[in-house]
């Protein structure tokens, strides 16, 4: 077991008021760590060591060398070796999935950069080789004086186009410093009409809990307790590990790389959340791979790259660090043995009979040793945990978008689970076992929508869970222009 309880998660983070890992309904009793009250920091005691900011364009974020997170476990004040969580995840196999070719991915319809200062929206679009008269007229009507208030040599921007090449969303900052005195404006098309909506945000507020960390990627991969553990809340490590596993194939192992991570440390009402992750070449600081968090209406949030490529499918099919997939979806036969006593003459003897069951197997079986931690694949609500016929010990999570995930045959549960509670992605919800109708230690995992079973390993299955919808694009451009290291002056 890597982390032993939810209370440990909540107690260790000292950036701001402790972010919950399990959120309970108002009617449920609150279970709090004894450390929570004593470790609650004052408003002026975040443990952050600020660095002076140069012209890297992220001056509205707090950045630091280290945060004063306590060691997860210690004996006589000495920290115990920290499990190499990320390194272990990287060594585990990845399910073989034929991913769908998304429109955004194939057409490369998202751009970012720092465009030369312009006098009008038309000049700005021409400078990046775009033309959209309808967008221009809407921009001029709603933001007639925008370019009169811009300063600096260039304007950081991120822009998304639809499949017809028309502008779906533009996020732009009014100066190239991208600091606390800057304003970001996003103009995006409404999903229900051709009307464009405008949102503006001053960068001098709303980002008090956002923190920037730059670590050597090798330090993060082996999760050195004196580096990553002091800079990143423990509850985010599983999510970061899963992201880097997916992006790691783009990294040349012979080179040195940095991991630039920006996360919202959360507060008493909101969980901590990674909002961007970039793998940088350590020499020239160019981005080798990136991921940005996108909040989505009616669906769980998800990670996408700066080109719009989804990174979500592997999250939804990786509930544990498994040894292998022992059985997939489809019709299969299971041979079970049953012994009974029969009387032969005056003596009783035991006869073993084999029974063959043929049925459609609705789920993925991940073979793993008993006690292997099982993680929630996405934020959700616990709607069942306890024994269930055939499934053995079962946890069911309900997610936005009418999705449910099933985790069966568990040996035990996280003791913090309460029906009706909300849990975050990456929470240990239980441990691999062989309860119920099981022939050996494994996790039986199911994904359902509207109670109908889905095969998440199916060839070219494209769900809205891992599709960047048009209405999601402005969330992506917003986070790209705020947090990308590639939208600053060269």
Domains and CATH numbers, the chain: 44-317+461-490 (no CATH), 324-329+358-455 (2.70.70.10)
**What are the 10-residue block averages of pLDDT along the chain, 490 residues in total?**
26 33 46 32 31 43 46 34 48 54 53 93 95 94 94 94 89 92 93 85 89 82 56 83 82 79 88 93 88 94 93 89 58 55 70 57 84 94 93 96 96 92 92 91 93 81 84 93 89
Task: Check residue 106 and give its pLDDT.
Answer: 41
Residues 316/378, Cβ–Cβ less than 8 Å:
yes
Task: Check residue 337 and give its pLDDT.
Answer: 60
Give residue for tokens 């029969």. 342
**DSSP β-bridge partners for residue 189:** 196
Q: What is the pTM of this model?
A: 0.76
Q: What distance in Å separates the CA atoms of residue 271 and residue 284, rounded to the nearest whole number?
A: 34
**DSSP β-bridge partners for residue 393:** 387, 410
Task: Check residue 20 and give its pLDDT.
Answer: 36
What string of H, E and C letters represents the secondary structure of the chain? CCCCCHHHHHHHCCCCCCCCCEECCCCCCCCCCHHHHHHCCCCCCCCCCECCCCCCCCCCCEEECCCCCCCCCEECCEECCCCCHHHHHHHCCCCCCCCCCCHHHHHCCEEEEEEECCCCHHHHHHHCCCCCHHHHHHHHHHCCCHHHHCCCCEEEEEEEECCCCCEEEEEEECCCCCCCCCEEEEEEECCCCCCEEEEEEECCCCCCCEEEEEEEHHHHHCCCCCCHHHHCCHHHHHHHHHHHHHHHHHCCCCCCEEEEEEEECCECCECCEEEEEEEEECCCCCEEEEEEEECCCCCCCEEECCCCCECCHHHHCCCCCCCEEEECCEEEEEEEEEEEEEEECCEEEEEEEEEEEEEEECCEEEECCCCCEEECCCCEEEEEEEEECCCEEEEEEEECCCEEEEEEEECEECCCCCCCCEECCCCEEEECECCCCCCCCEEEEEEEECCEEECCCCCCCCCHHHCCCHHHHHHHHHHHHHHCCCCCCC
Residues 416/6, Cβ–Cβ less than 8 Å:
yes
Residues 342/348, Cβ–Cβ less than 8 Å:
yes
Residues 407/430, Cβ–Cβ less than 8 Å:
yes
Q: Which residues contact 49 (CB under 8 A, 6 or more apart)?
A: 64, 65, 66
Task: Check residue 4 and give its pLDDT.
Answer: 26
Q: What distance in Å separates the CA atoms of residue 48 and residue 266, rounded to the nearest whole number?
A: 15
pLDDT in tens, 167-184: 999 999 999 988 888 999
Q: Which residues of 421-437 are buried (b: 16+ CB within 10 A; e: fewer)?
A: bbbbbbbbbbbbbbbbe
Q: What distance in Å separates the CA atoms of residue 200 and residue 259, rounded to the nearest whole number?
A: 30
Task: Check residue 339 and give its pLDDT.
Answer: 65
Count Cβ atoms below 10 Å from residue 315 Cβ, excluding itself.
23
Q: Which residues contact 254 (CB under 8 A, 6 or more apart)?
A: none
Task: Check residue 323 and give its pLDDT.
Answer: 59
Q: Side-chain half-sphere of 42: how many Cα atoms within 13 Å?
A: 2
Q: Of 392, 388, 378, 373, whose CA–CA distance to 434 is shortest?
A: 392
Task: Check residue 432 and give its pLDDT.
Answer: 94
Residues 446/362, Cβ–Cβ less than 8 Å:
yes
């Amino acid at each position: 077991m890597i982390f032993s309880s939810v209370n440990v998660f909540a107690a260790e983070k000292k950036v701001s008021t402790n972010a919950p890992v399990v959120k309970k309904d108002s009617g449920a009793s609150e279970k709090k760590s004894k450390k929570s009250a004593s470790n609650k920091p004052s408003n002026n005691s975040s443990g952050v060591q600020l660095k002076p900011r140069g012209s890297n364009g992220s001056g509205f974020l707090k950045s630091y060398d280290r945060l004063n997170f306590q060691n997860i476990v210690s004996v006589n004040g000495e920290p115990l070796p920290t499990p190499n969580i990320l390194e272990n995840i990287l060594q585990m196999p990845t399910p073989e999935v034929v991913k769908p070719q998304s429109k955004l991915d194939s057409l490369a319809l998202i751009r970012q950069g720092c465009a030369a200062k312009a006098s009008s929206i038309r000049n700005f679009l021409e400078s990046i080789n775009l033309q959209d008269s309808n967008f221009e007229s809407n921009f001029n009507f709603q933001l007639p004086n925008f370019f009169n208030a811009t300063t600096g040599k260039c304007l950081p921007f991120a822009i998304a186009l639809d499949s017809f090449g028309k502008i779906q969303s533009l996020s732009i900052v009014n100066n190239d410093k991208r600091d606390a005195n800057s304003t970001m404006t996003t103009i995006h098309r409404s999903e229900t009409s051709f009307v464009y909506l405008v949102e503006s945000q001053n960068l001098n507020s709303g980002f008090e809990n956002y923190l920037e960390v730059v670590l050597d990627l090798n330090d993060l991969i082996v999760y050195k307790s004196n580096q990553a553990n002091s800079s990143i809340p423990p509850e985010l490590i599983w999510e970061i590990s899963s992201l880097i596993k997916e992006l790691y194939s783009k990294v040349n192992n012979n080179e040195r790389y940095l991991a630039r991570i920006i996360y919202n440390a959360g507060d008493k009402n909101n969980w901590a959340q990674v909002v961007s992750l970039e793998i940088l070449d350590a020499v020239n600081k160019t981005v080798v791979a990136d991921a940005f968090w996108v909040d989505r209406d009616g669906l769980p949030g998800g990670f996408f790259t700066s080109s719009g490529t989804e990174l979500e499918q592997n999250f939804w099919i990786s509930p544990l660090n498994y040894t292998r997939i022992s059985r997939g979806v489809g019709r299969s036969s299971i041979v079970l043995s049953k012994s009974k006593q029969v009387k032969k003459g005056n003596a009783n003897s035991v006869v073993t009979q084999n029974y063959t069951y043929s049925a459609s197997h609705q789920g993925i079986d991940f073979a793993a040793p008993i006690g292997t931690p099982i993680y929630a694949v996405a934020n959700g609500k616990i709607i069942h945990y306890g024994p269930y016929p055939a499934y053995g010990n079962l946890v069911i999570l309900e997610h936005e978008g009418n999705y449910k995930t099933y985790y069966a045959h568990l040996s035990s549960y996280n003791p913090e689970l309460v029906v009706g509670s909300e849990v975050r992605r990456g929470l240990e919800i239980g441990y691999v076992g062989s309860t119920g109708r099981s022939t050996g230690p494994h996790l039986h995992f199911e994904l359902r929508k509207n109670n109908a079973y889905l095969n998440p390993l199916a060839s070219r299955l494209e769900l809205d869970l891992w599709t960047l919808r048009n209405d999601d694009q402005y969330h992506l451009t917003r986070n790209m222009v705020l947090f990308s290291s590639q939208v600053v002056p060269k």
